[in-house]
């Protein structure tokens, strides 16, 4: 039975539509049951036939009911998943979901940036400039590999700061390292069934290459970076490395090992994927040359990102393909549009062309060096000889190796959380093996006064 309020604000047709829809979804109107004819229901409700017919036609268009020629309207059979949850079912479903883990007040996650560091006013100005200058371009799609202005700015920056030698045609603008790796996996999976990955190492490549059907071969990391002897015997013809600041250990691959890795790639159909994820943030010593810069004509795919210094929320990264892979990329992705917003690309190009990027880099390097040094001082003050720092001098994190205790990683994290401290598990970087007594301390997202307080609370929690 439908009850219509002739004085109500929604129209009579709308009231009838909503009540019939609710009846179908709740099951009160059984599947395949015949509805009253337009004339019969209009007479029963004392409304015009147009009112009923309008409701029927909209319900029919949306699939809630269907019509049979010369037979009338019937209720559609909907699958259980399409029906709204009853209060009881909703409560059961919520009860089956795991409760979200409470987050600590001080988060030592290794990928957090300073919350106040984004150059919002400069970015807004470049954004508005891009709107004024290129309104016509916003009515069309951009270039598939990314805006040429942005790719040209990236090329100049890489040549100046990392020694990377390339042309804009080799650069592909991507929406984060995830997409960059996904593209590489699609290009390489036909000819390279196995990929060697650092262990410990960044967890995302394991997931992406594994999802594309690659055999992922973990290769141990030592003080000199990836174990090249193990790589030689691994059977893999593709390798992912972070040679300038290995994640998470922070070690730097020496020049002799770099040259040996380049030589490995030159033998046969082999490729190196060089992830230079935080090369801008080196605080002591000379800049480490990129592999690609040492051998621009080699089989090296270079990956970079704006997430570690500017903002991960922008979702802008880039990859530099060697010329043999450019044609493969264009063949596979010729029908794809660039996944990064055209307006974001134009804004970033404007930001770089006006010199804001270089100035921002210098400010961020100074800021994060202060946080890096503050973390070292805090560890020395509150842990002393009970802990050793690994991988200092670059990036947004340190690795703390504890001594003289038998707590598992789970116990370390649980105790830290009880003091309001959140830690990213070192075990997440391992494909195999034990994390031992190592923990990752990311300092980028913390304020200076929180760093000392957080390290002090950790020392108390683990004592």
pLDDT tens track for 15-58:
899 989 988 888 888 988 999 999 999 888 888 999 999 899 99
Q: Which long-range contacts (CB under 8 A, 24 or more apart) does 183-186 make?
A: 183/319, 183/329, 183/333, 184/273, 184/301, 184/319, 185/209, 185/212, 185/214, 186/212, 186/332
Q: Which of 87-96, 259-268, 286-295 has the highest mean pLDDT?
A: 259-268
Q: What is the mean pLDDT of residues 218-234?
A: 95
What's the mean pLDDT in 214-240?
95
The pLDDT of 138-148, averaged and rounded, is 88
Q: 441 φ, ψ to 5°?
A: -115, 100
**Does the global pTM surpass 0.85?**
no
Cα end-to-end distance, the chain, whole Å: 70
Contact yes or no for 277/303 (Cβ under 8 A): yes
Domains of the chain as residue ranges with CATH? 12-82 (1.10.10.10), 106-112+359-461 (3.90.1150.10), 120-354 (3.40.640.10)
**pLDDT above 90 (res 354):** yes
pLDDT at 94 over 90: no
| Radius of gyration over every alpha carbon of the chain, rounded to an integer in angstroms | 29
- Residue pair 339/178 in contact (Cβ under 8 Å)? The answer is no
What pLDDT, on a 0 to 100 scale, did the predictor assign at position 142? Answer: 87
Q: Are 440 and 399 in contact (CB under 8 A)?
A: yes
Q: Is the distance from CB of 173 to CB of 146 less than 8 angstroms?
A: yes
Predicted confidence (pLDDT) at residue 418 exceeds the cutoff of 70: yes
> Does position 81 have pLDDT exceeding 70, yes or no?
no
């Amino acid at each position: 039975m439908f009850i219509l309020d002739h004085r109500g604000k929604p129209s009579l047709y709308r009231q009838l539509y909503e009540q019939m829809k609710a009846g179908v979804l709740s099951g009160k109107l059984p599947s395949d049951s015949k509805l009253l004819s337009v004339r019969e229901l209009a007479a029963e409700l004392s409304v015009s036939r147009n009112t009923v017919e309008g409701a029927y036609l909209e319900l029919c268009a949306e699939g809630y009911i269907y019509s049979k020629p010369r037979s009338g309207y019937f209720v559609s059979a909907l699958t259980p998943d399409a029906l709204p949850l009853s209060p009881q079912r909703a409560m059961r479903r919520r009860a089956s979901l795991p409760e979200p883990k409470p987050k600590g007040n001080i988060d030592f996650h290794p990928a957090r940036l300073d919350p106040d560091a984004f150059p919002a006013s400069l970015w807004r100005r470049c954004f508005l400039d891009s709107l004024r200058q290129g309104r016509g371009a916003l009515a069309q799609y951009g270039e598939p590999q990314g805006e040429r202005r942005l790719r040209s700015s990236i090329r100049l920056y890489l040549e100046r700061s990392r020694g990377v030698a390339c042309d804009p045609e080799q650069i592909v603008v991507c929406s984060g390292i995830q997409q960059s790796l996904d593209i590489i996996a699609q290009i390489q999976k036909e000819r390279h069934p196995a990929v060697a990955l650092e262990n410990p190492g960044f967890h995302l490549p394991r997931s992406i290459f594994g999802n594309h059907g690659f055999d992922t071969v973990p290769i141990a990391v030592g003080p000199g970076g990836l174990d090249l002897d193990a790589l030689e015997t691994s059977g893999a013809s593709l390798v992912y490395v972070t040679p300038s600041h290995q994640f998470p250990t922070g070690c730097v691959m020496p020049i002799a090992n770099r040259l040996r890795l380049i030589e490995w790639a030159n033998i046969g159909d082999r490729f190196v994927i060089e992830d230079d994820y935080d090369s801008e943030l080196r605080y002591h010593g000379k800049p480490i040359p990129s592999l690609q810069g040492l051998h621009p004509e080699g089989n090296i795919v270079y990956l970079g990102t704006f997430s570690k210094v500017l903002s991960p929320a922008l979702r802008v990264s880039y990859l530099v393909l060697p010329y043999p892979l450019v044609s493969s990329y264009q063949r596979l992705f010729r029908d794809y549009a660039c996944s990064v917003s055209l307006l974001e690309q134009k804004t970033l190009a404007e930001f770089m062309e006006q010199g804001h990027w270089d100035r921002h880099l210098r400010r961020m390097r100074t800021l994060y060096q202060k946080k890096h040094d503050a973390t070292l001082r805090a560890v020395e003050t509150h842990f002393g000889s009970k802990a050793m720092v690994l991988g200092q001098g670059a990036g947004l994190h340190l690795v703390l190796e504890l001594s003289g205790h038998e707590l598992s990683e789970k116990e370390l994290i649980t105790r830290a959380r009880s003091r309001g401290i959140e830690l990213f598990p070192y075990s997440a970087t391992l494909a195999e093996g034990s994390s031992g007594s190592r923990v990752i301390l990311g300092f980028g997202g913390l304020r200076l006064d929180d760093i000392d307080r957080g390290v002090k609370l950790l020392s108390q929690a683990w004592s």
